[in-house]
Amino acid sequence: MNIPRCSFPRIVIIGGGFAGISLAKKLKNKNIQVVLLDKHNYHNFQPLMYQVATGGLEPDSIAYPIRKVVQTFDNFYFRLADVKEIDTKNNKVIADIGELKYDYLVLATGSKTNFFGNKEMERNCMAMKTIPQSLNIRSLILENFEQALLTNDIDERHSLMNFVLVGGGPTGVELAGALAEMKKAILPKDYPDLDVRKMEINLIQSGDRILNTMSENASTKAEKFLIELGVSVWKNIRVTGYDGRIVSTNSDLSFDSATVIWTAGVQGNLINGLAADALVARAERIKVNAFNQVEGYDNIFAIGDIALMVSDEYPQGHPMMAQPAMQQGRHLAENLIKLITKKELKPFEYNDKGSMATIGRNKAVVDLPHYKFSGVFAWFVWMFVHLFSLIGFKNKAVVFLNWVYNYIRFDREARLIIRPYKKKQMTSFTTDEI
Amino acid sequence: MNIPRCSFPRIVIIGGGFAGISLAKKLKNKNIQVVLLDKHNYHNFQPLMYQVATGGLEPDSIAYPIRKVVQTFDNFYFRLADVKEIDTKNNKVIADIGELKYDYLVLATGSKTNFFGNKEMERNCMAMKTIPQSLNIRSLILENFEQALLTNDIDERHSLMNFVLVGGGPTGVELAGALAEMKKAILPKDYPDLDVRKMEINLIQSGDRILNTMSENASTKAEKFLIELGVSVWKNIRVTGYDGRIVSTNSDLSFDSATVIWTAGVQGNLINGLAADALVARAERIKVNAFNQVEGYDNIFAIGDIALMVSDEYPQGHPMMAQPAMQQGRHLAENLIKLITKKELKPFEYNDKGSMATIGRNKAVVDLPHYKFSGVFAWFVWMFVHLFSLIGFKNKAVVFLNWVYNYIRFDREARLIIRPYKKKQMTSFTTDEI
């Protein structure tokens, strides 16, 4: 990879998400050589991806060039690389662009959509873990409506206008709310010759409440908000199959839908090469101790979604979200410096700052450690927190401007099919010979 | 296409560019049924596309949903359609989504890159007439630099950092300037371990001056600006071939380059079905009379780049630019209404408002009918005119914000490879085993 050796120890970080970037920033100019590898040349802000999928934001606003983050760091190297394997015996990573030795290795590879082994679902459902996937969802939604205009087959038209979201976590809830707002404010104006009232949004949750990682109060309020917006919320139902047209469940219920978005689970993005002992079957995460050290290795660490740190308080590990990832990244930086300077390591403690979800205009739920609330104020808090978490002044300003515009005008202008998702596969089209 | 007939005559417009949209706006609510067909669901602002290609703007800022433009128009139908053929005998258009009868047909299909029959060039060069093409150029520029970091082969690295732009019109000049500014302000910071001084930008013009549709003064100034920025301007040289690595010319000169961008010519986007008499071999445009009526047809019209209206003043037709297209669109709307109400048609007269090009920060050239100037003031005029020509308040605001930010910070943040253009085809890569 053309990276010169120097007298400083070399730390290789795989992944430039919340965990990797937080770690990299804290290792800045510290007499350590740092190499950051990522498949993309940008960091992306996952919590706002659903707004890219529903035409509220452009992808560039929630992405930030990694090279710009690390521009001023000494002894820092970024490489656009797809890591294929780790050779723990020889302390090196093997990527598409070559091999690289490490002194310390940090896995911050994040997570991907988990279909729990159902290949049919994986083939036919849309996922939303990357920016290209979000753009695919945006294109598909708009393509469906263009196609619905053309068909005279009522079943086909219904299927094109029926949206099924599997999974009632924050992503599913926020997407459902955003789709409901498109239905209300935008689609009737854009498609005057289509009866948009017939559009359906179905949110399916296998458990007995949505947002089940939040408080009961948040679940109840969020469900109420969704129902007000016209979303059908189905609880205690498990989706069992989707052949590209019919969604089947473990009940009598089935849905005829051209668009199923799967937000029902995530799993770690594993890389080959770790001993089997370090791996956890459930959600494919990597077992780490309280110092984020991978079980069985002295010089390999894992942080963020991919890391499973079990404690009394978190027997299933920390939630796979931005906050634990950023905190682990920052904490590991301190521990790595301690390790190199032969000081004693400090165990990681997660500081749960709370969680929140937005359902729509003036509608959000916020759980703080000692205070839970919902409604307009929660919505402003949600916006404020997300805006200030974005990297870069320009992204903050552009997102703010979009939100103000969208709020005042009840509009979303990023409804562009720049990258078509499907070639039009007309099952029926009409000839106008009048 | 599921479009009901009503008692009003039906005008079908093919193409939602400057010409088609200007026409559509003027036909708003006029007791006419209007059907607008386009391959994309957005109108795009071509004059700023070079900024998308060089990371200064996001594509969504220069694109605007067509459905939003026509939302409030009565008896107006937009369809996302790829028109394959016109059946002039039966007055109908044949598209991928079905057929449609017309009373009046307007061709506003614009233009595409003209490689003058050179298939090898068409295969290996980048073009920049659509938003996806602009994004491909952006990805390729960045991918080249990532790849240049990895190779130890000096020739390969040189080739990856050598950019050749063929054609010294406004697009070639503006791209060359933008690349030169990337070289100066952004790439050295992003690639500290690469000698960015070795990057070359070559602009090749077959004639004896660049910007040859503008004044002599503008040509001289633009060339001076480009040379100040470090661009090599080659005049009186014709590119004869490009095999993907070596650019050959009609002189001794050749270039070893991984990136050749072709801006040397455009040609009309023809649709099958018109009689051969109406077509012009040169630049594949359609001959129209002073009323934009296609030669040999009473009810078929052509406007914008695709239309060739020859007059004493414009023996080669009007320039293939936004201004004539918009003026023809607006004028044809009046004439179509006159035609339907059986009034006498008025011939089109082009009002040349002048032309301009920007080379870089504080550097532009402006030719007004009675006044020609260049430099900082010209640059502000250029920005002002382009900003106010964008459709939509939000796009104006976002572009303005980006420009202010880029100006103050000497930066461009949209340097993201969201859609990779090439799979990395390493001819050599290095293994770091130190």
Structural domain includes residue B296: yes
Exposure of B202 by Cβ count < 10 A (0-12 exposed, 13-18 middle, 19+ buried)?
A: buried
Structural domain includes residue A401: no
E runs forming strands in B333-377: 355-360, 363-368, 371-374
The answer to whether the CB atoms of B413 and A424 lie below 8 A apart is no
A130 has a pLDDT exceeding 50: yes
Structural domain includes residue B195: yes
ipTM associated with this complex: 0.88
**Do A87 and A188 sit in the same domain of this protein?**
no
CATH at B301: 3.50.50.60
Lowest average pLDDT, out of A286-295, A414-423, B188-197, goes to A414-423
Please tell me the predicted confidence (pLDDT) of residue B420.
80
**Do A168 and A92 sit in the same domain of this protein?**
no
Please tell me the predicted confidence (pLDDT) of residue B428.
43
The per-residue pLDDT for range A159-197, each reduced to its tens digit, is 999 999 999 999 999 999 999 999 999 999 999 989 999
Residues of chain A with C-beta less than 8 angstroms from the C-beta of B412:
none
Beta strand B104-107 pairing with B246-249? unpaired
| Inter-residue contact B51 to B382 (CB < 8 Å) | no
**Do A85 and A152 sit in the same domain of this protein?**
no
| Number of helical (H) and strand (E) elements in chain B, helices listed first | 12, 24
- Which is the catalytic residue, given A156, A174, A181, A200? A174
Length of chain A: 434
Please report, for residues A231, A249, A319, B1, B242, the alpha-carbon distance to residue A199 in angstroms, rounded to integers and kept in the order given: 10, 21, 34, 21, 52
**Do A273 and A217 sit in the same domain of this protein?**
no
Contacts with A169 (C-beta within 8 Å, 6 or more apart), sequence order:
A210, A211, A212, A213, A263, A264
A413 has a pLDDT exceeding 80: no
Please tell me the predicted confidence (pLDDT) of residue B412.
79
A424 has a pLDDT exceeding 80: no
Lowest average pLDDT, out of A329-333, A348-352, B282-286, goes to B282-286
Structural domain includes residue A378: no
**How many beta-carbon pairs under 8 angstroms link A with B?**
183
What mean pLDDT is reported for chain A? 92
pLDDT band at B280 (very low <50, low <70, confident <90, very high): confident
Structural domain includes residue B92: yes
**Do A29 and A166 sit in the same domain of this protein?**
no
Q: Which residues of B339-378 are buried (b: 16+ CB within 10 A; e: fewer)?
A: bbeeeebeebebeeebbbbbbbbebbbbbeeeebbbeeeb
Provide the percentage of residues in chain A whose pLDDT is more than 90.
Answer: 82
Please tell me the predicted confidence (pLDDT) of residue B328.
98
Structural domain includes residue A246: yes
The answer to whether the CB atoms of A430 and B1 lie below 8 A apart is yes
The per-residue pLDDT for range B135-190, each reduced to its tens digit, is 999 999 999 999 999 998 999 999 999 999 999 999 999 999 999 999 999 999 99
Q: Which tokens go with B393? A: 């308040």
Interface mutation vs chain B, best among A74, A150, A406, A427, most B CBs within 10 Å: A150
Structural domain includes residue A392: no
CA dihedral defined by A96, A100, A105, A106, rounded to 10 degrees? -30
Average pLDDT over residues A216-238: 97
- Chain A interface includes B227 (CB < 8 A): no
Please tell me the predicted confidence (pLDDT) of residue A407.
86
Q: Known catalytic residue: B181?
A: no
Please report, for residues B112, B120, B237, B267, B368, the alpha-carbon distance to residue B240 in angstroms, rounded to integers and kept in the order given: 20, 10, 9, 19, 35
Domain boundary, last residue among A340, A375, A402: A340
Residues of chain B numbered 317-346 and touching chain A (CB < 8 Å):
none
B413 has a pLDDT exceeding 80: no
What mean pLDDT is reported for chain B? 92
C-alpha to C-alpha distance for B66 and B16, rounded to whole angstroms: 7
Q: Which residue has the higher pLDDT, A277 or A123?
A: A123
Q: Which tokens go with B318? A: 């009007």
Q: Note down the domain range covering B40.
A: 10-113+266-340
DSSP secondary structure of A77-122: EEEE--EEEEETTTTEEEETTEEEE-SEEEE---EEE--TT-HHHH
**Do B155 and B256 sit in the same domain of this protein?**
yes
**Do B147 and B252 sit in the same domain of this protein?**
yes
Please tell me the predicted confidence (pLDDT) of residue B431.
45
Structural domain includes residue A335: yes
How many structural domains are present in chain B? 2
Question: Could you tell me how far CA B402 lies from the centroid of its own chain?
Answer: 21
Q: How many CB atoms lie within 10 A of CB A389?
A: 15
Please tell me the predicted confidence (pLDDT) of residue A410.
80
**Do B252 and B149 sit in the same domain of this protein?**
yes
Please tell me the predicted confidence (pLDDT) of residue B416.
84
Lowest average pLDDT, out of A91-100, A218-227, B152-161, B401-410, goes to B401-410
| Inter-residue contact A261 to A137 (CB < 8 Å) | yes
Residues of chain B with C-beta less than 8 angstroms from the C-beta of A103:
none
Q: How many CB atoms lie within 10 A of CB B95?
A: 21
C-alpha to C-alpha distance for B322 and A365, rounded to whole angstroms: 48
Please tell me the predicted confidence (pLDDT) of residue A32.
95
A434 has a pLDDT exceeding 70: no
A135 has a pLDDT exceeding 60: yes
- Chain A interface includes B397 (CB < 8 A): yes
pLDDT band at B391 (very low <50, low <70, confident <90, very high): confident
Average pLDDT over residues B100-111: 97
pLDDT band at B433 (very low <50, low <70, confident <90, very high): very low
Interface mutation vs chain A, best among B100, B394, B406, most A CBs within 10 Å: B394
B411 has a pLDDT exceeding 90: no
C-alpha to C-alpha distance for A223 and A98, rounded to whole angstroms: 50
Q: Is A214 helix (H, G, I), strand (E, B) or coil?
A: coil
Domain boundary, last residue among B315, B340, B365: B340
Domain boundary, last residue among B224, B239, B264: B264
CATH at A199: 3.50.50.100
The per-residue pLDDT for range A67-123, each reduced to its tens digit, is 999 999 999 999 999 999 999 999 999 999 999 999 999 999 999 999 999 999 999
Please tell me the predicted confidence (pLDDT) of residue A324.
96
Q: How far apart are the first and last CA of chain A?
A: 65
Distance from A281 to chain B by nearest Cα, in Å?
32
Interface mutation vs chain A, best among B413, B423, B425, most A CBs within 10 Å: B413
**Do B222 and B332 sit in the same domain of this protein?**
no
Residues of chain B numbered 253-312 and touching chain A (CB < 8 Å):
none
Exposure of B389 by Cβ count < 10 A (0-12 exposed, 13-18 middle, 19+ buried)?
A: middle
Contacts with A171 (C-beta within 8 Å, 6 or more apart), sequence order:
A50, A128, A263
**Do B159 and B284 sit in the same domain of this protein?**
no
**Do B228 and B242 sit in the same domain of this protein?**
yes
Please tell me the predicted confidence (pLDDT) of residue B200.
97
**Do B313 and B284 sit in the same domain of this protein?**
yes
- Which is the catalytic residue, given B143, B174, B181, B200? B174
B432 has a pLDDT exceeding 50: no
Provide the percentage of residues in chain A whose pLDDT is more than 70.
Answer: 97
